[in-house]
Amino acid sequence: PRSEATTMASASTADTTNMQEAGFTIGDLSRETSSRARQELAMLEVRARREVRAARARAAAARRTAAIYRDKLVPLRAKVVAQTQLHYNFMLLGVDHLLEVKREEIKARTMQVHALKDYWTERAKLDLATGGPVAAVPAADKPAPAPEPEPAPDHRNHGDHQ
């Protein structure tokens, strides 16, 4: 009766003998394994770079969208509300129109919040893809600038009424 260790040693010796008969050596097998590992590593590196580029592009696009809301759309809506308020004060427009314009401003601010959420989500995905924070994508979380106050209407000529 053969022991298990003897059986395994015989099998290993038989495998080595079969490989040598086929023209392979242990060195050939080691080089083959090493070459395959290098190829897999190179493929992983290419895939990782592709994922990082895609995540960076998505974060940059989301940043631009958030900046458009912050710098252009929300301030514009605030100006429209201020002008509409003046027209309402002079009784040139009704309350329905003023409320509609205010709704549009609120919608723009809501969309700005969603754009910021999208930016930070994409930024987190980029940080995850790179294994740490990335300083190259500037933050787009500055608050919207306050609209400039409209000058008060000139009422100097209204006091002369009798």
User: 101-110, pLDDT tens digit by residue?
Assistant: 999 999 999 9
User: 66-106, pLDDT tens digit by residue?
Assistant: 999 999 999 999 999 999 999 999 999 999 999 999 999 99
Region 129-141 average pLDDT:
73
Phi, psi of 11 (to 5 degrees): -65, -40
Residue 150 has pLDDT above 80, yes or no: no
Query: What's at 57, amino acid-wise?
Result: A
User: 13-65, pLDDT tens digit by residue?
Assistant: 555 555 556 566 676 778 888 889 999 999 999 999 999 999 999 999 999 99
- List, in order, residues 6 or more apart from 24 with CB less than 8 Å away: none
Cβ atoms within 10 A of the Cβ of 84, count?
20
Query: What's at 107, amino acid-wise?
Result: K
